[in-house]
Amino acid sequence: MAAVQAMLARHEQHYRIIYGSQLAFLRHLNVAIVAPVQNARYFFDTFGTKPPPIPTYTYENWLSFLINTFDIEKYVAPDGQEMFRLTPTGKAFLMWATEQSVPDQKPF
């Protein structure tokens, strides 16, 4: 029971600090299953039409957050192309977000 509560608390905390563009990329991976690395850059650039809240927040910071929270992982496909995919942790976070009906519309 304590483990479940800890996981739910982690998801809630995670939701509070994730950017809308990062959440949109996770939703994209949930449908696409895998995506080329450059797709992540598209989400950063497209959703980042307004300045990020922190002027020094770079694409690398944006991407590192998703990797360091174990939401996505990078791997090399058989054809040698670098890809991203959603991890079980990332899927659990999206399931929590859906069950809690939290809005996907968030800043940046």
In order, the DSSP letters of 63-81 are HHHHHHTTSEEEEE-TTS-
User: Residue 8 has which token pair?
Assistant: 């739910």
CATH code: domain 19-100 is 1.10.10.10
Q: How far is CA 85 from CA 2, 16, 18, in A?
A: 29, 22, 18
pLDDT for 56: 75
User: Residue 68 has which token pair?
Assistant: 């360091």
CA atoms within 13 A on the CB side of 34: 10
Whole-model pTM: value is 0.89
In the predicted structure, residue 98 carries a pLDDT above the cut 80: yes
Q: Which residue has the tokens 């996907």?
A: 104
Least-confidence region, from 3-7, 71-75, 89-93: 3-7
Each residue's pLDDT tens digit, 8-23: 899 999 999 999 999 9
Q: Bridge partners of 97?
A: none
Domain boundaries, the chain: 19-100
d(CA 71, CA 61): 14
Other Cβ atoms less than 10 A from the Cβ of 19: the count is 21
